[in-house]
Chains A and B, each alone.
Chain A
Amino acid sequence: MENIILKTENLKKYFPIKKTFLKRRANCVKAVDGVDLELKEGGILGIVGESGSGKTTLAKTILGIYRPSEGEVYFKGDKISNLPPNRMKAIRREIQYVYQNPGASFDPWWRVGRSLEEPLKIHQTLPEQGMKKKVKDVLKSVGLEEDHIFRYPHEFSGGQQRRLALARILVLSPSLIIFDEPTSGLDVSIQATILKLLKKLRNDFGLTYIFISHDLEVVRLMSDKIAVMYLGTIVEYGNTEAVFMNPKHSYTQLLLAALPKIKDQYIEKDILIQGEVPDPVNLPSGCRFWPRCPMASEICSNKSPALETIEDGRKISCHQI
């Protein structure tokens, strides 16, 4: 059975720039600009891109934290974009979001147990007595001890804080979890432990993940589908292994070349991506990547390429293919 759990259609999110007195016609930042995605139940979708490519905005728009400027989000077949808040609450239980810095998302004055019970109280999914048991069960499944509920957040290490953040989400038994840079700022050894745990949890609870990261290696390990984002649009989409073995879009190629690898010592003439992500207010005309693209020709600056299927399950937006 391959059920589509999440689908976005031409999803857009523009942020208007404040109007000034004399300059009435305000500009806007096109943070997410026409994203189509489909995610199967039990799948793991990786979203990669540089900072400023709109990864986090996309996640927040899917969650309904931001209202989409255009386009729709479907969850388990139902349209969830622009739902009234009371109906959104039930959806929010099923789609959960893990913040970049889990330590900062806990109340420093609350014992961990209280923080972990709070989502249960809000959503009223369990009777009072069941809550304590549920919290303890979940703590065990993320590799923490039962009596950790009496501690304060600062008493935990960075890796443990990530486990706590996971526990707080898992008490609600969600079906889709969006991770925003789940391992940034962690040591490689702790990163490996957390990734192992995430894989185990997915198998145990039958979860679906969206994995946002700028670390391509991590995304490669975790996901089965990958979407490469650049300035609010998806430039390449496909099966993770296929994209990594044979990247088609020149942005993906350059992104992969930039990865530090053990083998290439002392290479000083390797191809590097030039410059930085341009200002999202004044986007380049045509294809957004052309000012940094080594393969750019005239058509690239005139016409923006559409995301087209080039082979089975592989989509790419580039004129040079």
Chain B
Amino acid sequence: MIIFYMSEIAISGIKTMINEFKNKPHWIGVVCFCITFLVVLGFFSWFFFTPFFLVFRELYSVGLKGGLDNFLPGTLIAININHFFYIIIILCAWFSVLLSRMLSKDSNVKNFKKIFAVAALACFVVSLSSQTSALFNLWLRRRAIYDGLTLEQRLHKLHTIFYEYAQECKRVLPGYHKATLITDMNMDEDPGMYYNRVLSYLLFPIDIINFRQGPQECLVIFDKENPRAFVPPHYRIIFYYGDKCLLAVKVKGDQS
């Protein structure tokens, strides 16, 4: 008897809900997305023999790789996470057509558009939350590296020996000086190309980019095997940095 009454209540509840939903395609869109999302997640879980909650957790532990020129796509069980969302949206479109037909025969297109739009926006919100968690993780990693450091320490952390060497050069040789860079780095391709830019930037006003015309005043020898061998006789070495780097200046009075 009790079961009979309870099922009566449940059926009337569902009927009321359907009647309510008929006037609120927004909610149907949300339900459409939720069901599709769970089905696709479940399929991934079954297909890759991975527990459901682990797949869900992986969705929110996607890392950010790359940067500036291109961020690499995150992966969900070794699959491009974009594909995961694309599958959901395509299924949502199909599901929206079915639901809009069930709702009413008069305004199929109108209902379909609303249901599909809400489902797509709901998918966007989940994707946004996944990426926000990735951005938050990036911030945590950056925070662990840079927080609490002085500007000098941060520069040192970022540019390592380039910064150390450039600072030492500028300390022993302040002001503008035209210089030539001698190095073993291959400056025609990365990473040498980038390092060359870093060194030019950090060294300035010691000028290795040929900014002003005029005679050379010093030699910047960086990352070069046996650097002493490349110092001409009319130059004087004013400091060494490790085995491969030094700074030499032209002896005054020498016009060669």
- A and B bound? no
Q: Which residues of B contact A (CB under 8 A)?
A: none
